[in-house]
C-alpha cells in the first residue's frame, strides 16, 4: 500500500458531472423530498386536515372502529385518533429533528477529531466516551427527570447527553481508515493543512455513514417518547405524540388495534421519508468528496 | 508486539474509567430525590421511623464512608447486600447476568444472520428491486416499537401457533433457549435494520471507491477484490455499530425483559433505581461498565484485523 | 458472487442450527406436566419479614404461611377465632386471655410454644423500623403461662385490639428458627403455622409454596403446590392466562375484564384526588368543594373502570366497618361549582398542576379525564408525570398542587385509615396539609371508646366533617380485578387484599 495513486484526487469537472447525474438518477432523494414535504404540510396545518380536536373526549363514543366520521377510529376516551395522529406530526417532527441534529453534529466532530489526530487526543476523547457508554442511560434519565423535572425539553437534554457517542464512534472508525487512504496521503504530500484535509477530503467521505445512521436515528428518537414515557420523560398527557399514542394504545391492542396501528404507520411513513432523504444526501456527499 | 502493547495500554486505561464511573454513579444516586428507606416506607414514613430504617440500611453514615465501603466491597468482589431484598447483591445478579448474556448472544447471532447477507445483497444490487425491498422492510422494522412487536410475536408464535412459550424463562437449558428465541428476535430486528442500512451503504461506497478500482486495475481476481477489499472495508463501521448495540443490550433490554417476563439485568436495574436500592444499582452499573469497556476494547482491536491500514495507537 | 453466496450459506446454516436447538428444546418441554397451580401478579414481593416489610406485594401473601390468635373474616367485616379458640376479657377491659388450640406445629414440624408467642408479639411491638409497630403500641405486657394460653395486658382500653391482633404482624413464628437463620434469613423464608410454607423464592420470578405437612385443619390445604409468578407486562400476563400457562391472574386491566370473564372481588380500595391545602387556591374550602362538584365521577368510572367500580361515598372504605352509607355527598353540578369558584374569587377559574406517577396508567387516565371535566368550570389543568420515588417525597413535603392516591385497609377497623387521614402528626393527613382539631379529637376518642354504637356514631361524624372540609375528593370504590381458569375453585381474596388459598383447587 505504499504506492500512491494520484488518480484518486478527483478532477473538478468529473465531480460536477457526477453531481448532476445524482439528482437525475437518485429516485431515493426525490421520493424522500416528496415524503418529508408531505410530513411538513401535516405538521404546518394540522387544523385544516383534521376535523376534530385531538384532546376533546367523548364518553359515549369510546373505542369505536374506523368509520367515515373517524377514519382512524376513536381511543379509550373517545378522542379522534386521526386528529391525534395529524396533530402529533408537528411534535414528532420537532422531536425527531432536534434530538438527532445536535448529537449528529457534536458526535461527528468529536469522532473526526479523535480519529484524525489519534494518540492522546483519541485516548482522552474515547475514554470520556467510554464513561458515557458505560453509564446506563436509564439511570441518567431518571436523574435528569429528578433534578430538572419531567417534560419534553429535558428529553432533548437526555438524548443530547448520550446520543453523540454513537456518531463519534462511527465517524472515528471511518476516519481511522480514511486517513490512511491514498487520496489523503496524497493531499498530505501536496502540503495541504490539517483543516483542509479534514473538511475537504475526509469529512465528506466519512459523513455518509453518520447521515445514514442519523436518518434512522430520527425514527428511534420519535419512538423514544414511547419508551421513556414510563420514566416521566417525553410529552405529558394528553398531548398527542405518536410514540405516546402507541404507548397508551397498547393496553387496548386486543380490542382496538387502530389506536396503535395508525400512529405506527405515520412513523413508518415519516421514517421512510427521512431515510430516503438521508440515503440520497449521503450519495450526493460521496460524489462531492472525491 | 505493537498490538500486544496496545491491548495492554488500553486494558490499563479501563481502571481510571471504571473508577470515574463508580464516583459518578455514587454521586448521582444520592443526588436523586428519595432514599431507599423513604421509598420502602412510602406513605407511612414518619420521621422517626425513617431514621430507624435508614440506620438499619447503613445510610446514617457519612457519604465518604459509604463510598469507601462500596469501593472496599468492589475490591473484594463482593457487592454487599441489597438494601431492599436484604440478600447479597451477587446472589441477585448471578442468574440475571446469565439471562442477559444469553439473550445478547442470541440476539447478536440473529443480527448477524439477518443483516450481513441482506445488507451485502442490497449493496450489490443498489437501486434494483432486491435493494428496494430490503431497504423498505428494514425501515418498517425500525419503526416498530419493541413492546408492540413483542406482543405481536407472543400472540402469533406463543398463543396461536404454540411454537414458543408466552414469556418466562423456564427451568432448564432447553426451556431457557426456547424462551429466548422470541425476545432475541424482537431485540435483533431493529438493530438488524440499522446494520442492513449501514452495511448496504458501505458496500456501495467501497465498491466504487478508488482503491477497489485500483485493485481491479492491478488485475486482481474479482473474488479477491470482493473478499479482501469490499467486505473488509464495509465491515469496519458495521462492526462499530454492532459493538455499540451489543453494549446497549448488555445493560439489559428493559422493554424486552418486561414484555417477555425475563429475569434479566435490565429490569433489576430499573427496579433498583426506582426503589433506590443503592448497592444493587452500583453493582449493576459497575458490571455493565466493565462489560461495555471490554466490548469497546475488542472492537478497537478488531479494526486492525479487519483493515491492516488502521494503525493502533 | 462467491463471498455473498458464502455468507448467505453461513447464515442459513446458523439459522438452521438455532431452529434445531430450539425445536429439540420444544420437544423436551412438551413431555412435562404442569403440576402446581400457577397464579401471576405484576410485581414481586421484596421482603417477607412480616414485621419489617411494607407493601401490599408482601402483605397480601402472608395468609398463605402465617397465622395469629385471631383473623379477619373472609368478607372482611368481623374478627374470627384463628389459633385461639376463645378468649376472656377482664372487667376493666385491660387484660385479654386467649385459649389456644392444642398440638399446634410450625411448618418445620416443631411445636408452637408459649415462648414463641411472647417472642413473636414482643418483636412485632418493639422492632425498630417496623411500619406496623403502631398497631400494637397499646400493649403493656405479653405473657404465656403455658403453651396454650396467651395473656395480653393493655396500657389503656383499646377498642381495635382484636383487629390489631388479626393483622399479619401479630402472627406467630418459631423463636428457635428465627434465631437460627437470623433476621436476614428470616426475611427470605419466614415460617408459621399457615397452610403453606415457602420452599423457593426466585426474586423477580416466582415464589413456590408447598403444602404445610403439619397443618392443623384436617384436609387442608387442598392443593399440594402453588406457584406465584411475576409478569410485569399486562398484555403478556393476560396472554399467559389465555394460553393456559397460568390458572389465575391478578390486577387484570379493567378494559380486559369482560373479555377474560374476570371477577371483581369486593375490596377496601378507594381512590382520591389529594389536594394540597397549603397552596393558596386550594386552601379555600369552597374551591375544594367546587372541584368535587366539577368531577363527573360516574362518567369517569365508566371510562376508567369500565363499569366495575362505583362513585365513592365519603373517604372511608366501603367494605370496611363504620362506613357511613347515608352520608350526603355532592352531586355532579358544574354550574354550582362555577358559582362557588366565583364566590371564592375565581370566576374565571385558575391554573393547577396534577402530578401523577410515571408508568401508572390508571392515574394518568384519571388526570386526563379531570383535565377535560374541570376545563368546563374554567380550571386549567397541567398534567405532570414524575417517577414515583421522586414524587412521593415531593408531595410529602407539600410541594405539589394535586396528586392522586389509592388506599386499601390493612385491618378490620376504621382506626388505621382515620389515623392517616385525620391525625396530622402521622403523615400530614395524607399529605393534604389540612388540619382540624375537632376531627383529631374524635379520632383519638373513637380508638378508646369500647361501646360499638358510640364508636360508630363517632366515625359517622368524622365522615361528615371530612365531607364538609373536603381535603380530598373521593373518586370511587374499586374492586380487585381477578381472572381465572374456569376450573379453578376456592380463590379467596379478602377486602383487605389478603389471599387465602387453603381451599384453592383445580377441578378435573
Taking the CA atoms of A145, A149, A155 and A158 in sequence, report the sign of the dihedral they define.
negative
What does DSSP say about strands C492-493 and C499-500: parallel, antiparallel, or unpaired?
A: antiparallel
> What is the DSSP annotation of C429-458?
HHHT----HHHHHHHHHHHH---HHHHHHH
Size of interface B-C (CB pairs under 8 A): 181
The pLDDT, as a whole number, for residue A119 is 84
What is the length of chain B?
313
pLDDT in tens, C391-437: 888 888 899 999 999 999 998 999 889 999 998 888 888 999 999 99
User: Which of B28, B33, B57 to probe the C interface (max C CBs under 10 A)?
Assistant: B33
Interchain contact, A236 vs C382, CB within 8 Å: yes
In this prediction the ipTM stands at: 0.84
- Residues in A touching C358 (Cβ below 8 Å): 150, 229-232
What average pLDDT score do residues B19-45 get?
85
Domain with CATH 3.40.190.10 in chain C: 2-6+32-231+485-506
Residues of A in contact with B237 (CB under 8 A): 170, 173-174, 209
Does C46 sit within 8 Å of B112, measured CB to CB? no
Does residue C325 belong to the interface with chain B, where contact is any CB pair within 8 Å? no
CATH no., domain C264-480: 3.10.105.10
Interface test with B, best of C58, C183, C243 (most B CBs within 10 A): C243
A280 lies in some domain: yes
Which residues from A are below 8 Å from B303, CB to CB? 173, 176
Look at B313 and A138 and tell me if their CB atoms are within 8 Å: no
Chain B residue at shortest CA distance from A275: B139
Residue C472 pLDDT: 95
Question: How far lies C94's CA from each of A42, B189, B296, C448, in Å?
Answer: 76, 69, 71, 11
Q: β-pairing, C225-230 with C206-211?
A: antiparallel
Quote the CA–CA distance of A249 and A106 in Å, as a whole number: 35
Q: How confident is the model at residue C504 (pLDDT cuts 50, 70, 90)?
A: very high
B residues 230..269 contacting A (CB < 8 A): 233, 236-237, 239-241, 243-244, 247-248, 251, 254-255, 266, 269
Using an 8 Å CB-CB cutoff, list chain A residues near C256: 254-255
Q: Which of C25, C229, C243 sits opposite B178 (nearest CB)?
A: C25
Contact B194 A1 (CB under 8 A): no
pLDDT for residue C9: 53
User: Which of C22, C225, C388 should one mutate to test binding to chain B, selecting the residue with the greatest count of B CBs within 10 A?
Assistant: C22
Percent of chain C predicted with pLDDT > 70: 93
pLDDT at C21 over 70: no
Per-residue pLDDT reduced to its tens digit, C146-186 = 999 999 999 988 888 999 999 999 999 999 999 999 888 89
CATH number, position A239: 1.10.3720.10
Query: Quick check: is A105 in a domain?
Result: yes
Specify the pLDDT at position B206. Answer: 74
More confident residue, C28 or A76: A76
Question: How far is A208 from C257, CA to CA, in rounded Å?
Answer: 52
Alpha-helix runs per DSSP H in C344-399: 361-375, 388-396
Residue B203 has pLDDT above 50, yes or no: yes
Tell me the pLDDT tens digit for each residue of C124-143. Answer: 999 887 888 888 888 999 99
Q: Which residues of A touch B274 (CB under 8 A)?
A: 142
Reply yes or no: is the peptide bond before residue A55 cis, omega within 30 of 0: no
| DSSP-assigned beta bridge partners for residue C357 | C386
- Chain B hits for A133, CB-CB cut-off 8 Å, are 244, 247, 292, 296
User: Is C393 in the B-facing interface, judged by CB distances under 8 Å?
Assistant: yes
Question: Which residues of chain C have a CB within 8 Å of the CB of B279?
Answer: none
> Is the minimum CB–CB distance between A192 and chain C shorter than 8 Å?
no
Q: What is the pLDDT of residues A113-172, one digit of tens each?
A: 999 988 889 989 988 998 888 888 878 877 887 778 777 888 888 889 888 998 998 899
Q: CA nearest B173 in C: which residue?
A: C25
How far apart CA C248 and CA C238 sit, in angstroms, is 9
Residue environment code for C325-336, b if the CB has 16+ CB neighbours within 10 A, otherwise e? eebeebebbbeb
CA distance C235 to C242: 11
Which chain A residue's Cα is nearest to C368?
Answer: A238
Match domain C2-6+32-231+485-506 to its CATH number in 3.40.190.10, 3.10.20.30, 1.10.10.10, 3.40.50.10610: 3.40.190.10
- CB contacts of C184 in chain B (<8 Å) are 81, 86-87
CATH 3.10.105.10 positions along chain C are 264-480
Q: Counting Cβ atoms within 10 Å, is residue C57 exposed (0-12), middle (13-18) or buried (19+)?
A: middle
Query: Which pLDDT band, with edges at 50, 70 and 90, does B83 fall under?
Result: confident
Q: Is A76 close to C255, i.e. CB distance below 8 A?
A: yes
| B167 contacts on C by Cβ (under 8 Å) | 231, 233, 236, 239-240
In order of A109, A157, B239, the CA distances from C2 in angstroms are 38, 47, 22
Q: Which of C2, C205, C243 sits opposite B263 (nearest CB)?
A: C205
Bridge partners (DSSP) of residue C480 are C265
The pLDDT of residue C141 = 92
- Smallest Cβ–Cβ distance between B273 and the set A142, A209, A219 belongs to A142
Between chains, do C420 and B43 touch, taking CB under 8 Å as contact? yes
Q: What is the pLDDT of residues C263-285, one digit of tens each?
A: 999 999 999 999 999 999 999 99
CA distance A57 to chain C (A): 7
Contact C367, C356 (CB under 8 A): yes
pLDDT tens string C295-338: 999 999 999 999 898 899 999 988 888 999 999 999 999 999 99
Residue in chain C lying closest to B179 (CA): C22
- Considering the domain boundaries, does residue A133 fall inside one? yes
CB contact under 8 A, C55 and B42: yes
* Residues in B 107-146 with any Cβ partner in A closer than 8 A: 127, 135-136, 139-140, 142-146
Say whether residue A153 is in contact with chain C using an 8 A CB cutoff.
no
- The minimal CB distance from C368 to the residues A229, A238, A255 is found for A238
Q: How far apart are the first and last CA of chain B?
A: 12
- Among the partner-chain residues A59, A151, A237, the one whose CB lies closest to the CB of C368 is A237
- Nearest-by-Cβ selection for A237 from C303, C367, C390: C367
Per-block mean pLDDT, blocks of 10 residues, chain A (290 long): 37 45 67 90 86 87 91 93 93 90 94 90 90 83 78 85 90 85 81 84 82 86 74 80 87 89 88 84 65
Question: Which string of DSSP letters, residue by residue, matches C474-493?
Answer: EEEEEEEEEEE-TTEE--EE
Q: Is the pLDDT of residue B39 over 90?
A: no
Query: What is the extent of the structural domain holding A80?
Result: 36-53+69-289
Amino acid at each position: 500500500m505504499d504506492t500512491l495513486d494520484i488518480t484518486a484526487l478527483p478532477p473538478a469537472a468529473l465531480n460536477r458531472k457526477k453531481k448532476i447525474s445524482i439528482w437525475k438518477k437518485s429516485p431515493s432523494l426525490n421520493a424522500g423530498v416528496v415524503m418529508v414535504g408531505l410530513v411538513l404540510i401535516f405538521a404546518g396545518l394540522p387544523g385544516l386536515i383534521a376535523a376534530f380536536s385531538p384532546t376533546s373526549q367523548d364518553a359515549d363514543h369510546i373505542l369505536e372502529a374506523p368509520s367515515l366520521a373517524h377514519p382512524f377510529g376513536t381511543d379509550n376516551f373517545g378522542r379522534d385518533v386521526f386528529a391525534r395522529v395529524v396533530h402529533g406530526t408537528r411534535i414528532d417532527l420537532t422531536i425527531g429533528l432536534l434530538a438527532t441534529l445536535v448529537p449528529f453534529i457534536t458526535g461527528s466532530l468529536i469522532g473526526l477529531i479523535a480519529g484524525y489526530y489519534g494518540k492522546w487526543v483519541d485516548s482522552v476523547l474515547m475514554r470520556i466516551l467510554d464513561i458515557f457508554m458505560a453509564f446506563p442511560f436509564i439511570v441518567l434519565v431518571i436523574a435528569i427527570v429528578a433534578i430538572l423535572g419531567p417534560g419534553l425539553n429535558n428529553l432533548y437534554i437526555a438524548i443530547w447527553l448520550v446520543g453523540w457517542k454513537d456518531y463519534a464512534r462511527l465517524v472515528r472508525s471511518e476516519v481511522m481508515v480514511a486517513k490512511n487512504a491514498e487520496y489523503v496521503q496524497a493531499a498530505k504530500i501536496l502540503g495541504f493543512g490539517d483543516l483542509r484535509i479534514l473538511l475537504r477530503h475526509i469529512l465528506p467521505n466519512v459523513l455518509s455513514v453518520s447521515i445514514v445512521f442519523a436518518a434512522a436515528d430520527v425514527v428511534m428518537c420519535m419512538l423514544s417518547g414511547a419508551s421513556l414515557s414510563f420514566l416521566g420523560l417525553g410529552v405529558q398527557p394528553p398531548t398527542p405524540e405518536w410514540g405516546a399514542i402507541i404507548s397508551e394504545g397498547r393496553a387496548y391492542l386486543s380490542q382496538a388495534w387502530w389506536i396503535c396501528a395508525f400512529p405506527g404507520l405515520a412513523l413508518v411513513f415519516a421514517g421512510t421519508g427521512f431515510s430516503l432523504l438521508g440515503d440520497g444526501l449521503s450519495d450526493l456527499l460521496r460524489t462531492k468528496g472525491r | 508486539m505493537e498490538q500486544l502493547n496496545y491491548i495492554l495500554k488500553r486494558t490499563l486505561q479501563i481502571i481510571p474509567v471504571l473508577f470515574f464511573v463508580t464516583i459518578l454513579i455514587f454521586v448521582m444516586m444520592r443526588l436523586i430525590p428519595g432514599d431507599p428507606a423513604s421509598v420502602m416506607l412510602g406513605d407511612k414514613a414518619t420521621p422517626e421511623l425513617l431514621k430507624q430504617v435508614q440506620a438499619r440500611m447503613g445510610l446514617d453514615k457519612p457519604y465518604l464512608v459509604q463510598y469507601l465501603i462500596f469501593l472496599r466491597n468492589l475490591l473484594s468482589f463482593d457487592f454487599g447486600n441489597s438494601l431492599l431484598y436484604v440478600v447479597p447483591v451477587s446472589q441477585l445478579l448471578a442468574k440475571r447476568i446469565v439471562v442477559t448474556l444469553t439473550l445478547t448472544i442470541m440476539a447478536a447471532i440473529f443480527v448477524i444472520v439477518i443483516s450481513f447477507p441482506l445488507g451485502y445483497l442490497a449493496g450489490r444490487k443498489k437501486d434494483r428491486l432486491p435493494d428496494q425491498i430490503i431497504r423498505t422492510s428494514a425501515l418498517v422494522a425500525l419503526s416498530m416499537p419493541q413492546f408492540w412487536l413483542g406482543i405481536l410475536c407472543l400472540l402469533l408464535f406463543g398463543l396461536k401457533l404454540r411454537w414458543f412459550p408466552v414469556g418466562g424463562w423456564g427451568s432448564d437449558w432447553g426451556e431457557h433457549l426456547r424462551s429466548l428465541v422470541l425476545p432475541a428476535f424482537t431485540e435483533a430486528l431493529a438493530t438488524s435494520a440499522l446494520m442492513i442500512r449501514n452495511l448496504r451503504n458501505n458496500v456501495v461506497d467501497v465498491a466504487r471507491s478508488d482503491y477497489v478500482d485500483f485493485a481491479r486495475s492491478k488485475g486482481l481476481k474479482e473474488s479477491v477484490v470482493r473478499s479482501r477489499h469490499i467486505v473488509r472495508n464495509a465491515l469496519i463501521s458495521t462492526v462499530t455499530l454492532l459493538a455499540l448495540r451489543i453494549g446497549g443490550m448488555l445493560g439489559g433490554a428493559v422493554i424486552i425483559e418486561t414484555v417477555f417476563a425475563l429475569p434479566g439485568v435490565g429490569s433489576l436495574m430499573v427496579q433498583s433505581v426506582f426503589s433506590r436500592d443503592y448497592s444493587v444499582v452500583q453493582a449493576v452499573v459497575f458490571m455493565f461498565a466493565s462489560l461495555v469497556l471490554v466490548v469497546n476494547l475488542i472492537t478497537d482491536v478488531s479494526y486492525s484485523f479487519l483493515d491492516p491500514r488502521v494503525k493502533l495507537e | 458472487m462467491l463471498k455473498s453466496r458464502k455468507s448467505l450459506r453461513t447464515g442459513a446454516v446458523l439459522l438452521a442450527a438455532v431452529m434445531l436447538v430450539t425445536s429439540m428444546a420444544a420437544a423436551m418441554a412438551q413431555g412435562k406436566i404442569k403440576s402446581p397451580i400457577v397464579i401471576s401478579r405484576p410485581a414481586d414481593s421484596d421482603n417477607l419479614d412480616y414485621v419489617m416489610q411494607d407493601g401490599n406485594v408482601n402483605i397480601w401473601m402472608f395468609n398463605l404461611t402465617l397465622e395469629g390468635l385471631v383473623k379477619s373474616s373472609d368478607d372482611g367485616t368481623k374478627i374470627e377465632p384463628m389459633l385461639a379458640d376463645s378468649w376472656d376479657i377482664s372487667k376493666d377491659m385491660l387484660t385479654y386471655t386467649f385459649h389456644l388450640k392444642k398440638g399446634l406445629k410450625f411448618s418445620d414440624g416443631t411445636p408452637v410454644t408459649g415462648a414463641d408467642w411472647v417472642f413473636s408479639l414482643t418483636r412485632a411491638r418493639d422492632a425498630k423500623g417496623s411500619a406496623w409497630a403502631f398497631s400494637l403500641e397499646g400493649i403493656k405486657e405479653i405473657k404465656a403461662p403455658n403453651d396454650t394460653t396467651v395473656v395480653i395486658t393493655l396500657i389503656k382500653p383499646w377498642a381495635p385490639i382484636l383487629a390489631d391482633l388479626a393483622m399479619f404482624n401479630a402472627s406467630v413464628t418459631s423463636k428457635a428458627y428465627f434465631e437460627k437463620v437470623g433476621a436476614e434469613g428470616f426475611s427470605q423464608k419466614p415460617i408459621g403455622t399457615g397452610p403453606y410454607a415457602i420452599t423457593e423464592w426466585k426474586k423477580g420470578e416466582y415464589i413456590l409454596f408447598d403444602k404445610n405437612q403439619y397443618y392443623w385443619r384436617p384436609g387442608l390445604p387442598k392443593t399440594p403446590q402453588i406457584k406465584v409468578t411475576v409478569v410485569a407486562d399486562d398484555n403478556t400476563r393476560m396472554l399467559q392466562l389465555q394460553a393456559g400457562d397460568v390458572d389465575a391472574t391478578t390486577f387484570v386491566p379493567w378494559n380486559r375484564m369482560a373479555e377474560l370473564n374476570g371477577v371483581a372481588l369486593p375490596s377496601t380500595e378507594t381512590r382520591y384526588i389529594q389536594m394540597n391545602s397549603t397552596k393558596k387556591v386550594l386552601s379555600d374550602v369552597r374551591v375544594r368543594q367546587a372541584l368535587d362538584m366539577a368531577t363527573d365521577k360516574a362518567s369517569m368510572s365508566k371510562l376508567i373502570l369500565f363499569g366495575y367500580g362505583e362513585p365513592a361515598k365519603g373517604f372511608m372504605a366501603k367494605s370496611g366497618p363504620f362506613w357511613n352509607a347515608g352520608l350526603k355527598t355532592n352531586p355532579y353540578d358544574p354550574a354550582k361549582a362555577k358559582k362557588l369558584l366565583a364566590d371564592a374569587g375565581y370566576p374565571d377559574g385558575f391554573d393547577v398542576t396534577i402530578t401523577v406517577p410515571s408508568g401508572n396508567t390508571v392515574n394518568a387516565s384519571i388526570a386526563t379525564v379531570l383535565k377535560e371535566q374541570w376545563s368546563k368550570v374554567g380550571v386549567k389543568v397541567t398534567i405532570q408525570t414524575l417517577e414515583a420515588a421522586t414524587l412521593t417525597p415531593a408531595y410529602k413535603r407539600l410541594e405539589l398542587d394535586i396528586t392522586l392516591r389509592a388506599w386499601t385497609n390493612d385491618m378490620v377497623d376504621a382506626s388505621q385509615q382515620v389515623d392517616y387521614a385525620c391525625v396530622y402528626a402521622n403523615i400530614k393527613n395524607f399529605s393534604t396539609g389540612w388540619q382540624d382539631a375537632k376531627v383529631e379529637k374524635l379520632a383519638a376518642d373513637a380508638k378508646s371508646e369500647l361501646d360499638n354504637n358510640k364508636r360508630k356514631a363517632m366515625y359517622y361524624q368524622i365522615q361528615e366533617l371530612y365531607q364538609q372540609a373536603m381535603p380530598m375528593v373521593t373518586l370511587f370504590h374499586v374492586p380487585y380485578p381477578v381472572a381465572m381458569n374456569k376450573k379453578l375453585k376456592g380463590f379467596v381474596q379478602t377486602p383487605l387484599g389478603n389471599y387465602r388459598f387453603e381451599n384453592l383447587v383445580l377441578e378435573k
